[in-house]
Amino acid sequence: MREEEWIEAARQGDQDAFAELVRLYEKRVFALTSRMCRNPEDAAEAAQEAFLSAWQGLRFFRGEASFSTWLYRLASNACVDLLRREGRHRAAAGASLDDEEMKIDAVDPAPSPQDVAERRELREQVEAGLAALSPEHRQVLVLREIHQLSYDEISQVLSLDVGTVKSRISRGRRQLRKFLLESGNFSGAAASKETEKEGCK
C-alpha cells in the first residue's frame, strides 16, 4: 500500500515521501487542531508542529500503533503544548490558569428569538456546541465523530484508559445534545411520537 511505502521511505529520511504523508494527513490533522486551538493561527502552528514532530520521531515509530493514531497523538500534544505555553504567558501576566478559561468562547446556549428565527444549520450548531464543551470532552467527540476512531484508538491517542474514554464520550455527547436542544435548532428525534406510557417503568 502506498502509505506504508511512504512511511518506510520517510523513516529512512526521504523528505519527498514525507511530503506525501503531509498532504495525505493535513486535513485530518487540521480537523483536530482547528477544534482544539483557540484560533486558526494556533491551529496551523499546532498542525505544523505535529508534522515536524512526526518527521523527527519517525525513526522511533515502530509501526505497532497505526501511523494515523500516532500522528493524531502528536497533534493532540501539540495543541496541549500550545495552550500551555499561552497559559504560562497569561499566568505570568497575572491571569489565572483556570480550566474554564481554556474553553473557546461559548456560544450562549439560550439564544435570542432572533437567533432561533435565523434557523442556523444544524452543522453550525454542532460546531458551536463543540466549541462550548470542555477540551477533554471536545477531544474525544472530535476523534470519535469526525475521525471515527474506535475507543481503543482514542485511548491511544490521548493516553487515557478506555473507561475514561467511554465516560468522556458519554458525558460530552449528552452535553452537546443538551446544548443543541437548548439552542432551539435541534428538534431532537421529532419522528418519535411515542408517549410516555409505553416507556420504561
Check binding of 40 to other proteins (CB under 8 A): yes
**In sequence order, what are the residues at sequence separation of 6 or more whose Cβ sits closer than 8 angstroms to the Cβ of residue 89?**
none
User: Are the CB atoms for 35 and 134 separated by under 8 Å?
Assistant: no
By CB under 8 A, is residue 106 in contact with other proteins? Answer: no
Residue choice 62, 92, 100, 113 for contact with other proteins (CB under 8 A): 62
Q: What is residue 121's three-state secondary structure?
A: coil
Angle between helix 151-158 and helix 67-92 axes, rounded to 10 deg: 40
Site string for other proteins, 112-141 (x = CB under 8 A): ---------xxx-xxx--------------
Among the listed residues 92, 100, 114, 192, the single contact to other proteins using CB under 8 A: 192
Kindly determine how many residues on this chain lie close enough to bind other proteins according to the rule CB under 8 A. 62
Min dist CB 197 to other proteins, Å, is 10
Q: Indicate whether 31 belongs to the interface with other proteins (CB under 8 A).
A: yes
Using CA atoms, how far apart are residues 129 and 176, in angstroms rounded to an integer? Answer: 6
Give the nearest distance from C-beta 110 to other proteins in angstroms: 19
Instruction: Name every residue whose Cβ is closer than 8 Å to that of residue 173 and which is 6 or more positions away in sequence.
Output: 141
Distance CA 63, CA 153 (A): 14
Kindly tell me which residue out of 47, 78, 79, 132 binds other proteins, with binding defined by CB under 8 A: 47
Among 1, 2, 23, 93, binds other proteins (CB under 8 A): 23
Give whichever of 17 and 135 is closer to other proteins, judged by the CB atom. 17
- Which amino acid is present at 196? E
* C-alpha span between 141 and 176 (Å, rounded): 9
> CA 175 from chain center: how many Å?
15
Stretch that binds other proteins, among 87-95, 97-105, 108-116, 191-199 (CB under 8 A): 191-199
- The amino acid occupying position 168 is R
Binding string, 148-177, against other proteins, x = CB under 8 A? --xx-------x------x--xx--x--xx
